[in-house]
Chains A and B, each alone.
Chain A
């Protein structure tokens, strides 16, 4: 039982750090993409390609890279950040592009500066879509993080890998069930946040 709690705690920490870092990087990247179409295409292609790399392979690729690589949770976090970028960048872009033309035009015509337009109009209106991106990224990261145990990342994957090696179904379930519950909890919580934002608009 203690094992399960410790592994769950590690799992949460790894995912939380990765998704937070991906949000800090991905939202500005998404905003930047809305300003230049050519950049948008290149950036989206890049994060798309990262997403298609099988997770075990991505962990493997990162191990030999100096500073970010090696065995341990740090490499796992880097890989999870890369995976989490796509939904966050894409949803930031979609959310801002989805702001009603008339609303944006009225803002510009009233003399909002580009910065005011972004922070007072575009980002608040894109927020539910951005939060949805963070939600998707979190759910994916919770699943992918179980594989991080293969490179010594720790977390619930440890229990699953040990269970597989020992052909112990109970041990596998001890890792898999908390991981599934975490994913469901994150999904419910962040869906609630999206709804709460939408509700404040009446």
Chain B
């Protein structure tokens, strides 16, 4: 019943002043990190993949369909999106937040309840304890768990993450990375981070952007021996 995971392709994608002729192909089921310094264009590249940013040149394809000629509303309901600021709806309970996309998709309420119960248990925010609470009463880590549950509950084909754990303390961050690793199969993931350790831990492939261009694209296992100077700077900076 859940949609299969989707491939993503950026073909000569430019965004004025931010991205320049970026070509990137991500296969279905892959988990890919986009890393780079602040302002390198990682977030913009990610945001072209659900149509939050419209490229000024080139084309973006998700599952082989050009975004310029598709129904973005429908696409977004099958694309998870997790951001550093979480963006929970403050006027809705945790359960109502998690139920957002299934309700948009018209699922019957019992199915939503069952899916939320499973998903929230796996993510460590059991429905019985957290369901009726308001987001403002949760810790930062709990809020981001709700954010993950909300993005994953409808079984998205593609999951886009923008520094999802950037605002969390290192211990909570590690816990959430583990949650994330446990659920990454069956969905294509694009993960923006400037933390190389996180990229190597969570992702199979690392794409390095610099000033709006891809300067390196390697399997995570090979990244530390990547000759590109910026890659080496990242490796050096990540060492304790």
Contact = CB atoms under 8 A, between A and B. Distances in A.
A101 B85 contact: yes
Interface in B159-202: 160
Interface stretch (A11-19, A71-79, A108-116, A168-176): A108-116
Contact of A109 (B50, B88, B90): B50
B90 A103 contact: yes
A136 interface: no
Contacts of A104: 87
A111 to B, nearest CB: 4
Given A110-B77, A201-B136, A125 B90 contact: yes
Contacts of B48: none
Interface in B71-107: 72-77, 79, 81, 83, 85-91, 100-101, 104
B11 interface: no
Interface in A70-112: 100-112
A108 to B, nearest CB: 7
Interface of A: 100-113, 116, 121, 124-125, 200-202
B133 interface: yes
B134 interface: yes
A121 B79 CA distance: 20
A107 to B, nearest CB: 7
22 contacts: A100-B87, A103-B88, A103-B90, A105-B52, A105-B83, A106-B83, A106-B86, A106-B147, A107-B87, A107-B89, A109-B52, A109-B160, A110-B77, A110-B81, A110-B104, A110-B150, A111-B75, A111-B77, A112-B73, A116-B104, A124-B91, A202-B134
Contact of B91 (A106, A108, A112, A200): A200
Given A109-B160, A112-B104, A201-B90, 9 more contacts: A102-B86, A103-B88, A103-B90, A105-B52, A105-B87, A110-B76, A110-B104, A116-B104, A121-B89
Nearest to B160: A109
A105 B82 CA distance: 10
Main SS at interface, chain A = helix
B137 A109 contact: no
B87 A113 contact: no
Contact of B88 (A106, A108, A116, A202): A106
B109 to A, nearest CB: 17
Interface in B108-159: 133-134, 136-137, 147, 150
Contacts of B104: 110-112, 116
A109 B79 CA distance: 8
Contact of A111 (B74, B90, B134): B74
Contacts of A200: 91
B89 A103 contact: yes
Contacts of B72: 111
B76 A108 contact: yes
Contacts of B50: 109
Contacts of A116: 104
